[in-house]
Amino acid sequence: MLNQLKNFNELVHLWDLDQEERDKKIEIFQMWEKNLNKDEFETILEICNHFNYYSYKLTAEAYKSIFDKNACNIDKFETFIEQSLFFPLRKKDRVESAVDMFSSFRLVNNIDANRTKMVCPADYLMQYKTSIDYFGKLVKENDQKSIEEKKIIQNLENQLILNKKNKIISKKIKKRINRLQKIKDKREYLLKKKVEVFLENYLSVKNMIIIDDFIGTGDSVVSFLKKIGSILVDSTIGIKIHLWVIEASESGIKAIEETVKQLGIDFDISFYKESINVLEEDKIFSPENIIEVKEIIGNINKRNKLRPSRYCKNHAIASFVNAPNNNLTLLSEESSTWTALFLRTKRNKVERKISSTDIKEAYAFLRQ
């Protein structure tokens, strides 16, 4: 047992945990060892030897590596950054894991806060598209007014020539010309300021760099890309989408690339490591042993009433924020008889009980 504890300590040390967390992981290993037979326990322990846990420090190192790799591969990288905005991969108006990971990415790479946006990237593109219509209308209306005003001013200048000997009439004409010119100049100045905002916030942005943690099935990114595609279709927006993540699975990348090709989106993906399916042949276990390993995992799941989610890709990864839903089920899910090594926390909204008094107060407030 003492020798086994030494192995536990060596393993959890790789995960860059504090001592309290290390002790908790060792306790979990001890529980597993007690409740599993030798073959089962050794199988899980072998999988855990390939578990990638990203502490805050290791997450920052991974994001620094991704940034530096792109700095080497992208021509005129400084200009690229100047023409880029950085986003967390947000899909809903709430604090998602990507937001916490995004902070790590921004800080370790010294990203100017002015080059970041915390809104959903699809919402930003919709704002961009709406702004094109809005500002385009303003510019066209201004152009038409300018043409009309120039004609009026030209006519007045012609009248001024004809009445140059009449000081009273000439004075009136000059006042009118000055008044029209001031109105024209003020309108065009205000429009210029608005166009400058559009240029800075939208037109000057050539790249959207979206930061996320892990890609398993790729379903969430595919759904996100379809939303983006629906916004960009028949749009004049010229922007490239870059997705930078810590780990991505081969199948997830393939699903994303197929979607991008169908939608015609200018896109690329960059990642620190490729996630592996721990139950795939020749990843951890040999082809001769993989059938037995799958049976062992299946039996453990069955005994402990653990059900793999539809997103399960049998990964073995987690971060200081959370564990992904594509992990090997027994690593991140729990039951009354099973304790997860890195528990995936879920956002279960607690429904507030609303009384009739609350409703009356809401109506009263709105009627004020």
Burial of 59 (0-12, 13-18, 19+ CB in 10 A): buried
Write down the pLDDT at residue 5: 47
Write down the pLDDT at residue 96: 63
Strands 52-54 and 317-319: parallel
Write down the pLDDT at residue 6: 52
Domain membership of residue 316 (yes or no) is no
Domain membership of residue 147 (yes or no) is yes
What is the residue range of 149's domain? Answer: 124-203
- Give SS3 for 284: coil
Domain membership of residue 257 (yes or no) is no
Domain membership of residue 303 (yes or no) is no
Angle, CA of 79, 85 and 91, to the nearest 5°:
155
Could you say which residues of the chain have pLDDT below 50? 1-2, 5, 94
Write down the pLDDT at residue 347: 58
Domain membership of residue 234 (yes or no) is no
Write down the pLDDT at residue 164: 81
Write down the pLDDT at residue 92: 61
Single-letter code of the amino acid located at 196: E
- Give SS3 for 215: strand
Using one digit for the tens of pLDDT, what is the confidence trace for 200-255? 999 999 999 999 999 999 998 999 999 999 999 889 999 999 999 999 999 999 99
Angle of helix 97-108 relative to helix 56-73, nearest 10 degrees, comes to: 60
Q: Contact 119/90 with Cβ under 8 angstroms?
A: yes
Domain membership of residue 91 (yes or no) is no
- Give SS3 for 240: strand
Q: Which structure tokens are listed for 36?
A: 């599993």
Total of domains in the chain: 1
Domain membership of residue 197 (yes or no) is yes
Please name which of 265, 198, 267, 261 lies closest in space to residue 233, comparing C-alpha atoms.
265
Domain membership of residue 138 (yes or no) is yes
